[in-house]
Structure 1
Amino acid sequence: MSDRTPVFIITGEQGQCKTTFLHLVLGFTVGLNVRVRGVISPGYVRDGRRSGFALIDLATGEVEELSSIDPDPRCEIHGRFYFRPEGLAFGRRALAPPDPRETDLVVIDEVGRFELQGEVWAEQIDRLLAHPHPPMIWTVRRRLLNTVIERWKIANPVVVDVGTASVMATAGDVMDAVWEWREAQTASGAPDFPLPGGRIAGDPPLLADAAAGASPNAPVILRRCYGPEE
C-alpha cells in the first residue's frame, strides 16, 4: 500500500505562504474526522525578516518553540537558526511512526535543506517511509523539490504549487487518498472508522461537511473552517 499511498508536496518559493496553504487544506479535513499526526511550523517575522519558528503537534494541538535567530548556547545551530532541544524533542515525538490503523494523514512542515543534510527531521522521515504509512503532506521549497523526491525515493508524489493550485481541489484530492487508505485498512481487518452523517470508509468525501463545522475534538489550531475565498 505504501508504494501507492501518495505524498502531497506543497511547494513554492520562500515566503510564498506554503504553511498558510497547508493550514487552509487542513481546515477542510478536520470536519471530516480525519485523524492527523505530524507538525506544522508557522514562522515569526522581526524587522521584516524571518526570526524563528514555532511547532504545533497536530495530534494534540500543543505548541513548542522550535528555533530562533537569537543565540543560545544550549541550541543546535542549523544555518542562522538556533534550534531548541525542547523543540527538536517535541517534533521528533510528534513525527514518530504512527499506528497505521489509527492515523489517516501525516503532515511534515517542512522538509528542507537541513533534512537533506541528515539533520532535524531526517531520521524521522526515514523511519516513516520504512513503514506502511497513510497519505502524507509535506511542504518543500521549489528549488529543493526534485532533490527531496529523489533523496527519499517518493514513488507517488503529488506536487501542489501554491502559485497555481486551489485549496479546495487539493483538500478534495487529500480526502480521496484518505478514503482509499481507510478502505485498505478495512480490507486488512482494521475496524471501520465512523465518519460524519453515518458514512463509513469508502463513501465519497463531502467537503461541505467541513464548511458546516469542524469536529469539536479537533486541535484548537484547526477548529476554524476555511472557505475557498480565504
Structure 2
Amino acid sequence: MRETAPVFIITGEQGQCKTTFLYQVLGLMTGLDLRLRGVIAPGHVRDGRRSGFTLVDLATGRQEMLCSTDPSPGCEVHGRFCFRPEGLALGRRALSLQDTEETDLLVIDEVGRFELQGVVWAGQLDRLCTLPHPPMVWTVRRRLLDTVIERWSLEDPVVVDVGAAGVLSTASDVMDAIWEWRETHPVSPISPAPFINRHAAGDLPLMADAASGVGAGTPSIFRRRYTASD
C-alpha cells in the first residue's frame, strides 16, 4: 500500500463535457458517506462561446462566480477571463487542506493553462503534490495532459478519456482507490460532503439521482456505505 493515492485525470477536448462526466461520476457516490473536498466549475456559454465559470465548493455547496469575460473591479485578468476575488478565495480555501487524511476524495475541475503559468490553483497544486494525498480527480484538456503530468511529477496517473471511458467503470475505480486509502489511514468521524445539487451546478445531468438507494444490480463497491466504523 502506498502513502499517496492515485490521481485520476479526466481528459478530453475543449467542450467535450469533461465536467459533465465528472459530475456523473460524483453523482454515483452520493449517499456513500464520503468526505468529499475540492471544486467543480460548470461553464457558461454566450453567443456560442465560453463566457465564464461558476465555482462550487464540494464540501460546503457554496458557490461563487469564478471568472467571466466581463470586466469587474478587483479582478485578476488571465487570458480573456477576469477572475473574481470571491471565486478565487473560495477555491483556494477548498483546496488548502489542513490535513489530507481527513479527506476521502479531492476534486479539482480543472487544471489548465493558467495553473501551468503559476496562477489560479497552482500554489495549492504545488502543496498537494508534495504531501501524502488521498485519491484525487482532476480534469485536464487533452492537449495539456502531458505537460500537466510532467509539471506536477505525477507518477502513474489514471487517465480517463471521456471519448472512450465509461462513467460507471470510472466511478468504480475511484471507489476502489478510496477504499484502499481508508484501509491504510485512520478514519475520523465523518461529516459527509453535501455534494452539489442540480441548481448549484447549472442543472448538469446526474446519472444517478438517488445513489443512496442503489439496488442489487449495482456493483458492490457502490452498495457499500462508507461509515466511520469501516
TM range (shorter): 0.7 to 0.9
Instruction: Say yes or no: does 1:218 pair with 2:181.
Output: no
Q: Distance in 2 between matches of 1:55 and 1:191?
A: 28
> Relative to structure 1, is the Cα distance of residues 24 and 106 closer, same or farther in structure 2, using a 3 angstrom cutoff?
same
Q: Quote how far apart the aligned CAs of 1:60 are.
A: 0.4
TM-score of the pair, normalised by structure 2 = 0.82
Q: What whole-Å deviation, never above 9, does each CA across 1:191-219 have from its counterpart, x for those lacking one?
A: 4768xxxxxxxxxxxxxxxxxxxx8x623
Equivalent residue number for residue 96 of structure 1:
96
Q: Which runs of 5+ in 2 are unaligned?
A: 210-230
Deviations 1:173-204 (A, max 9, x none): 0000000000011xxxx24768xxxxxxxxxx
What amino acid is the match of 2:164?
Answer: T
Structure 1 distance, partners of 2:63, 2:172, is 27
Write the mapping of 1:6-155 to structure 2, written as runs, cut at 5 A.
Answer: 6-155=6-155
Q: CA deviation at 1:131?
A: 1.5
Tell me which amino acid in the other structure corresponds to 1:50. Answer: R
Deviation at 1:225, TM superposition (A): 5.6
Q: Distance in 1 between matches of 2:43 and 2:2?
A: 31
Residue 225 of structure 2 corresponds to: none
Match in the other structure for 1:211: none
Residue 75 of structure 1 deviates from its aligned partner by 0.7
The alpha carbon displacement at 1:120 in A equals 0.4
The percent of aligned pairs where both chains have the same amino acid is: 66
Q: Distance in 1 between matches of 2:131 and 2:63?
A: 27
Check conservation: 2:106, 2:136, Cα contact below 8 A. Answer: yes
Structure 1 residue 226: Cα displacement: 2.1
- How far apart, in 2, do the equivalents of 1:73 and 1:192 lie? 42
Give the Cα–Cα distance (whole angstroms) in 2 for the partners of residues 192 and 180 of structure 1: 16
Query: Does the CA contact (< 8 Å) of 2:23 and 2:206 recur in 1?
Result: no
What is the Cα deviation at residue 221 of structure 1?
2.1
1:73 and 1:220 map into 2 onto residues whose CA distance is: 28
Cα deviations by residue, 1:2-55 (Å, 9 ceiling, x for unpaired): 665100000000000000000000001122111110000000111111100000
AA aligned to 1:108 is I
The number of residue pairs the alignment matches comes to: 203
Whether the 8 Å contact between 2:102 and 2:187 is mirrored in structure 1 is no
Task: Tell me how large the CA RMSD over aligned residues is.
Answer: 2.2
* Conserved 8 A contact 1:4-1:155: no
Q: Displacement, 1:146?
A: 0.4
CA distance in 2, matches of 1:2, 1:71: 46
Alignment match, 1:204:
none
